[in-house]
Chains A and B, each alone.
Chain A
Amino acid sequence: MAFVTANWNPLGEAFYRKTELYEMGWNLKDGLRDCLLAAAPYGGPIGKHFWKKYTLCSTLPMSFFSPPFFSTTLYSKESHWKSGVVRQLGWTVCDDLLCIQEDGTVLIYDLFGSFKRHFSMGNEVGQSQVVEAKVFHSPYGTGVAIVTGASRFTLATNIDDLKLRRLPEVPGLQGAPTCWAVLTQDRQSKVLVANGGDLFILDYTACTAVNPPGLSPQASSIVHMCVSFSYKYLALFTDSGHVWMGSANLKEKLSEVETKVRNPPKQMAWCRRPKSRQPSVVIMWDRHLLVVGEGKDTISYHLEDDSILVPEMDGVRIINGTNHELLQEVPASCEEIFKIASMAPGALLLEAHKEYEVNVAYGINMLPQNYMDKSIGTAAHCLHPHHTEMSDRHQHISAASFGKCFLSNFPPELFVIMCRDLRVLNAVRDYTVGIPLTHTQFKQMTVQVLIDRLVYRKLYPLAIEICRYLKTPEYQGVSRVLKHWACCKVQQKEESDEVIARTISLKLGEAAGISYSEIATKAYECGRTELAIKLLEFEPRSGEQVPLLLKMKRSQLALSKAIESGDTDLVYTVVTYLKNEMNRGDFFMTLRNQPVALSLYRQFCKHQEQDTLKDLFNQDDDHQELGNFYVKASYKEKRLEARVAHLQSAVDEYNKAKNEFAAKTTEEEMRLLRFQKKLEEEKGESLVGFSLHDTLRTLLAVGLHKHAEQLYKDFKVPDKRFWWLKLTALAEKEDWEELEKFAKSKKSPIGYLPFVEVCVKHHNKYEAKKYVSRVTPEQKVKAHLAVGDMEGAADAAIERRNEGEISTILSRCSPTTDRALVERLNRAKSTAAKK
């Protein structure tokens, strides 16, 4: 076993180590000189662009080296660069390569070097040219920031949802700034710019001058800067050779170190890890690498070759023509185990295990009893895979498993999960895959993302193996991979639609949660409409089929699928689409065959397009609805003539609909309106819009009895209702004389009880009494009671020998009532009951 701590270098309180990940397999004559190179974080791919100085030659060879080692032929693609001058390369979060050109065009390629799409960073960039560009990542996705020759910054936070933001001007800035960086703060991406000694923060609305607290006064210019992986920290390099480190919001200074090197560095990167013990930055000059921490001490490495730094969340990757290395702070747990003469449980366990392999008894005894209880932590420690060396991992796992034997209550899950994770990491680190992940990165990135990245590399079998091994739920794991496989499959032009559809359905058949519509969309995008339709047939969710069917102009099918899904919003969507696509006649015909869609469209029209509604009813010869439509319309009219005209149309329609009743009533309404208008003009009484009932009432109230009579006859108001009406109207007016006359005019069709009750309601018992005698015998008791005549009520009830009525009267008796009366009633009650 190699001596683990051999490559450890102390810096302040922590150790740093540089370990080799791969030996690079590319064969470069000139190393990385004159190249643009970009590598994605989380052990991502590396893209390289040869940038020879002779820009006049328009075809530049470009190559992608995704797994950066031996098997370049597997993925790399030599392509002849026919487009403009590339300023910057960068990777997106979904492993696509971005090439930012001088003219502001950004080209997007996939991992296999095939062109996907392009977009522009704005028209104005064309003249002023991109001077510098940066690709950055934020929670919103991958962003691009550029600075033009005219010293203006433009920023796009998410290239998948492109919104260009032109940032405000930086005061006093001519040409390119000395250095700049993109930060994400408060959910906004901002640019930090240094112009000589001045520092500015640019956000969407303003340019604010800022001062890093405690920046050494010797510095006159900030020549380089870098922001940490988490956007929390900032490092500045000044022309005086100082490195200032602090928080990215420029509120706090962490340290400042003098490097004694004055020429500007080539690259700078934060070298931190979660729970880092000190801030530290890696600075790179041509052949010199320096790790700077809090104190005065630094670690210095010599570089053999031109290199680039790739910041990771827990270290920095260094890539050059021959090597691919990882520089990181040694994690505390690891340090505890391997530090010279460490007495930490982990160290003891490892030692004991080593002895155990030689001599069993001795090894066991080496574990002091009092350390046993700490062994849980021990086993976990040993397992912490901060060690990149494969050989070490083996050692640790067996040590941990050895330690585990001494524990009775150690939950095995931790051990099992860790072993599983390690196995996955080893698998993807294999040179044929080439994703060198640390465990910290893996945990941060999640299995889902790892699967995605394997899928981008078309490593479907491995991805499926991993899903099964980690027992990822099917629709998140295996199904997703299969979907991507199918999407890739449909692009294979050499196979026939028939064969592809069959292969896909065979393979995906029983997998859960497959979205066939997505696969079909892909097929359609590749120009294989027939295949797409075939694939859509496998889609169980009819709703999902709709958007694609619309896109493929299969709108009728889309409509029936939308209806099938029951989602009315989807039906609406298709209907609106059809409306724009078809001529009106065809559109209406289509709707007629789909009643669900038709009634929904009617609803839509009711609120949005009244005229169309009318056309729809016309088309269906729905005269009843047309009639209703005109009635409704009539109420919107302010002029009488217009209202009547609408009503007339309604009458016509109702007649056509053979709805005699509605036609007759509507005619009546017209008549009433005309009558009201006429009377309004003659008498100045406001009447129009009143119901017939209210019109009569008003007429009676103001004493226009003749007109009321006329209306009553014209409209054939039933006698009963007219009597009620007149009775209440007169009582309200307290026109008792007229009321009496009315009562005597002829025999009341409603009887005389209402007369009694209405008078009482208007507090006129005197008038009420006049009518009591005329009430029918059945209602007499009620009438007497209404006017408060207990005697009369009693007489009437006793005469009728009605037990119920007698009881009612008794219940109304109060202690003040005549005792004799009560007795009389009681007696009558008992005789009535006997009968």
Chain B
Amino acid sequence: MAAHLSYGRVNLNILREAARKELREFLDKCAGSKAIVWDEYLTGPFGLIAQYSLLKEHEVEKMFTLKAGRVPSADVKNIIFFVRPRLELMDIIAENVMSEDKLQPPREFHILFVPRRSLLCEQRLKEQGVLNSFTNIDEYILDLIPYDGDLLSMESESAFRECYLENDQTSLYHTAKGLMTLQALYGTIPQIFGKGECARHVANMMLRMKREFAGSQNQILPVFDTLLLLDRNVDLLTPLATQLTYEGLIDEIYGITNGYVKLPPEKFAQKKPGEGGKDLPTEPKKLQLNSAEELYAEIRDKNFNAVGAALSKKAKIISAAFEERHNAKTVGEIKQFVSQLPHMQAARNSLANHTSIAELIKDITTSEDFFENLTVEQEFMTGVDTDKVNTYIEDSIAQKDPLIKILRLVCMQSVCNNGLKQKVLDHYKREILQTYGYEHLLTLNNLEKVGLLKPQLTTRNNYPTIRKTLKLWMEDANEQNPNDISYVYSGYAPLSVRLTQLLARPGWRSIEEVLKMLPGPHFEERQQLPTGLHKKRQQGENRTTLVFFLGGVTYAEIAALRFLSQMEDGGTEYVIATTKLLNGTSWIKSLMDRPEAQIL
């Protein structure tokens, strides 16, 4: 069921199995039939660990969403709340428990805190007078969720906002804990590199936790050679740019949540001859996207311009495979053909789906608006006229294009210019406030706080230096047969990935100057391994590096890292971990503050 997790360099299925085991153990603790009341936010991440069938096997008969009022009646012995440790949720739970029907046979209540139990929440339950109503109060440590064969995510939407805007380091604590769990399963990671304030904080916590657990030394041969912790705010530029890989574009346009995407259904209607188009489905088409699907694994990381060719090549192979049946003469041959049928049919369905998706995306990428937007982005990234008010942005505001699009562009300009001149900045801000409403003053303020928007304090703009030293712009990006990571943005090489690449070869010492220009400290730590666990590297064996993006990572960056893993002379394979998978839109959205205006 989750075989694709075990194909990668590191078998991430071990982690998933450990998480499933723990879930089963907890469910069995509450003997008898049960209903789960979900904190809605958690259902997505949980879907990556366990399907409903697992819950059903452990006598989960009903599922509800956590809401104020009373838990719907269900003839079960146990009611289990699966919640994040949040005070506002505690109040709802208390209300649920107190309004329980006294006449019905008593149901036992349990709480499962994800990812960690909290004294503060328990205190709140105590104040509400319901703490004693719970038979079990437990925690389900779900920090890093295996997302794909080489990808782990904490699925924590607000991590960036909390860390960089609100100075709340809770998610960093969870990160450190998650990395400890990872090390318990995959061995101590001998080398830790990092860049940024948050990275430093996480590394400090990890080292501290290791000291605290001295004694319970694990005796596992390390799977990872290096851990690289990167703050998102070291590279604010990359997520702002429009991703141009297949997966990146799906995410930009339709949004991938917890590994699923919802698409407009029209293109997917099964056209049967003679039926006409009378029953067009209205429900969005939901598809799961991961490397379990062979075709998807092949094309996801390609530049979108190379996807068409790949699809048609695949189509030829599949139809050739179906043609094989004419060559099947003997019973044995026919039997063999038939045995391959399910696999072939799955491949054909997958091809049909992706052809439809590619068509949908193509409609958008060939539009003038998309082209103009991209042109402006690329101008900014190459440093053209970043110090002036941009006409395209002005016109877009005047036409009241989506606010997030505007914010992405303005922020990008600011980042590429190391801040905007006060006059330019104020002009943009005024335009935005007058067009979209004054309430966005708070959002703009937030963007300034995290450094996405800023007034230029010095006349020196160090972005060009960074761009040149790190070769962030490659004029001749080859989209079809890439030879550099810059293909993922058709020219722009993501800064974060460039840093990763340079760390592996020739090392950061060569770019000290640039590193100093980027925010936060850079550092290196070593963790002692118990004697006997030092890996003896085979000739030509690749190193494995875990790259942790604190504050989120885009699909295009992941694609770039996968590209590096596959480079023949790369010498390093990458596993990626992050607090959340994001794109410019979801990222900016998480930083917005929108007070709900009351109607006067």
The chain A residues found within 8 Å of chain B, CB to CB, are: 163, 186-187, 205, 474-475, 479, 511-513, 540-542, 564-570, 572-573, 576, 595-596, 599-600, 602-604, 607-608, 624, 628, 631-632, 635-640, 643, 661-662, 665-666, 668-669, 672, 677, 688-693, 715, 717-718, 720-721, 724-725, 728, 750, 754
Give 13 pairs: A residue, B residue, CB < 8 Å, sorted on A: A512-B215, A572-B118, A595-B167, A631-B439, A632-B442, A632-B595, A635-B439, A661-B429, A689-B597, A691-B438, A718-B394, A724-B398, A750-B395
A-B interface, 10 closest residue pairs, ranked by CB to CB distance from nearest: A512-B215, A724-B398, A635-B595, A599-B167, A691-B437, A669-B438, A693-B435, A692-B434, A568-B170, A513-B215
User: In the bound complex, how far is the Cα of B176 from the Cα of A717, in angstroms?
Assistant: 50
User: In the bound complex, how far is the Cα of B32 from the Cα of A186, in angstroms?
Assistant: 9
Contact check, B436 vs A691: say whether CB atoms are below 8 A apart.
yes
Contact check, B600 vs A638: say whether CB atoms are below 8 A apart.
yes
Q: Which residue of B lies closest to A690 (CB)?
A: B437
- Within the complex, the shortest CB–CB distance from B125 to chain A, in Å, comes to 14
Tell whether A635 pairs with B431 under 8 Å between CB atoms, given A475-B215, A570-B119, A724-B399: no
Q: Which residue of A lies closest to B399 (CB)?
A: A724
Known: A566-B201, A637-B598. 12 other contacts (CB 8 A): A513-B214, A540-B212, A573-B120, A599-B167, A603-B168, A604-B87, A635-B595, A640-B600, A662-B441, A665-B430, A677-B600, A717-B434
Interface: B426 (CB within 8 A): yes
Contact check, A720 vs B214: say whether CB atoms are below 8 A apart.
no
- B394-408: CB near A (< 8 Å → 1, else 0) gives 110111100000000
Tell whether A607 pairs with B118 under 8 Å between CB atoms, given A475-B215, A631-B441, A715-B434: no
- Within the complex, the shortest CB–CB distance from A464 to chain B, in Å, comes to 16
Interface: B445 (CB within 8 A): yes
Contacting residues, chain B, for A607 (C-beta < 8 A): 87-88
Contacting residues, chain B, for A636 (C-beta < 8 A): 595, 598
User: In the bound complex, how far is the Cα of B399 from the Cα of A447, in angstroms?
Assistant: 76
User: Which interface residue of A572, A717, A750 has the most chain B CB atoms within 10 A?
Assistant: A572
Q: Which residue of B lies closest to A568 (CB)?
A: B170
Contacting residues, chain B, for A715 (C-beta < 8 A): 434
Contact check, B596 vs A635: say whether CB atoms are below 8 A apart.
yes
User: In the bound complex, how far is the Cα of B173 from the Cα of A564, in angstroms?
Assistant: 11
Contact check, B214 vs A512: say whether CB atoms are below 8 A apart.
yes
Q: Which residue of A lies closest to B434 (CB)?
A: A692
| Residues of chain B in range 173-216 having any CB-CB distance to chain A below 8 Å | 173, 176, 201, 204-205, 208, 211-216
Contacting residues, chain A, for B436 (C-beta < 8 A): 691, 693
What's the interface size class on B, roughly? 35 or more
User: In the bound complex, how far is the Cα of B45 from the Cα of A788, in angstroms?
Assistant: 51
Interface: B433 (CB within 8 A): yes
User: In the bound complex, how far is the Cα of B213 from the Cα of A596, in angstroms?
Assistant: 25
User: In the bound complex, how far is the Cα of B430 from the Cα of A715, in angstroms?
Assistant: 10
Interface: B166 (CB within 8 A): yes
Q: Which residue of A lies closest to B599 (CB)?
A: A689
Contact check, B433 vs A665: say whether CB atoms are below 8 A apart.
yes
Contacting residues, chain A, for B598 (C-beta < 8 A): 635-638
Contact check, A569 vs B442: say whether CB atoms are below 8 A apart.
no
| Residues of chain B in range 401-458 having any CB-CB distance to chain A below 8 Å | 426, 429-431, 433-439, 441-442, 445
User: In the bound complex, how far is the Cα of B170 from the Cα of A572, in angstroms?
Assistant: 11
Contacting residues, chain A, for B31 (C-beta < 8 A): 186-187
Contact check, A603 vs B166: say whether CB atoms are below 8 A apart.
yes
- Within the complex, the shortest CB–CB distance from A375 to chain B, in Å, comes to 36
- Within the complex, the shortest CB–CB distance from B301 to chain A, in Å, comes to 30
Partner of A569, one of B85, B201, B395: B85
Q: Which residue of B lies closest to A163 (CB)?
A: B132
Contacting residues, chain A, for B173 (C-beta < 8 A): 566-568
Contacting residues, chain A, for B168 (C-beta < 8 A): 568, 599-600, 603
Interface: B145 (CB within 8 A): no
Contact check, A541 vs B169: say whether CB atoms are below 8 A apart.
no
User: In the bound complex, how far is the Cα of B433 from the Cα of A640, in angstroms?
Assistant: 20
Contact check, B441 vs A721: say whether CB atoms are below 8 A apart.
no
User: In the bound complex, how far is the Cα of B216 from the Cα of A163, in angstroms?
Assistant: 36
Contacting residues, chain A, for B211 (C-beta < 8 A): 540
User: In the bound complex, how far is the Cα of B430 from the Cα of A190, in angstroms?
Assistant: 73
Contact check, B399 vs A569: say whether CB atoms are below 8 A apart.
no
Contact check, A692 vs B172: say whether CB atoms are below 8 A apart.
no
User: Which interface residue of B395, B598, B600 has the most chain A CB atoms within 10 A?
Assistant: B600
Q: Which residue of A lies closest to B117 (CB)?
A: A569
Contact check, B172 vs A572: say whether CB atoms are below 8 A apart.
no
Contact check, A474 vs B399: say whether CB atoms are below 8 A apart.
no
User: In the bound complex, how far is the Cα of B448 from the Cα of A624, in angstroms?
Assistant: 12
Tell whether A665 pairs with B441 under 8 Å between CB atoms, given A569-B119, A693-B435: yes
Q: Which residue of B lies closest to A599 (CB)?
A: B167
- Within the complex, the shortest CB–CB distance from A220 to chain B, in Å, comes to 36
- Within the complex, the shortest CB–CB distance from A54 to chain B, in Å, comes to 43
- Within the complex, the shortest CB–CB distance from A778 to chain B, in Å, comes to 13
Contact check, B438 vs A668: say whether CB atoms are below 8 A apart.
yes
Contacting residues, chain A, for B172 (C-beta < 8 A): 566
Contact check, B216 vs A475: say whether CB atoms are below 8 A apart.
yes
Contacting residues, chain A, for B437 (C-beta < 8 A): 690-691
Contacting residues, chain A, for B398 (C-beta < 8 A): 720-721, 724-725, 750
Contact check, A513 vs B169: say whether CB atoms are below 8 A apart.
no
- Within the complex, the shortest CB–CB distance from B389 to chain A, in Å, comes to 10
Contact check, A566 vs B208: say whether CB atoms are below 8 A apart.
yes
Contacting residues, chain B, for A661 (C-beta < 8 A): 426, 429
Q: Which residue of B lies closest to A696 (CB)?
A: B434
- Within the complex, the shortest CB–CB distance from A231 to chain B, in Å, comes to 15
User: In the bound complex, how far is the Cα of B204 from the Cα of A791, in angstroms?
Assistant: 70
Partner of B119, one of A573, A643, A665: A573
Contacting residues, chain A, for B400 (C-beta < 8 A): 693
Tell whether A566 pairs with B176 under 8 Å between CB atoms, given A635-B598, A688-B600, A717-B434: yes
| Residues of chain B in range 93-124 having any CB-CB distance to chain A below 8 Å | 105-106, 116, 118-120, 123
Q: Which residue of A lies closest to B394 (CB)?
A: A720
Contacting residues, chain A, for B394 (C-beta < 8 A): 718, 720-721
Contacting residues, chain B, for A570 (C-beta < 8 A): 119
User: In the bound complex, how far is the Cα of B123 from the Cα of A61, in angstroms?
Assistant: 45
User: In the bound complex, how far is the Cα of B528 from the Cα of A376, in angstroms?
Assistant: 46
User: In the bound complex, how far is the Cα of B91 from the Cα of A607, in angstroms?
Assistant: 12
Contact check, A596 vs B169: say whether CB atoms are below 8 A apart.
yes
Contact check, A691 vs B167: say whether CB atoms are below 8 A apart.
no
- Within the complex, the shortest CB–CB distance from A378 to chain B, in Å, comes to 37
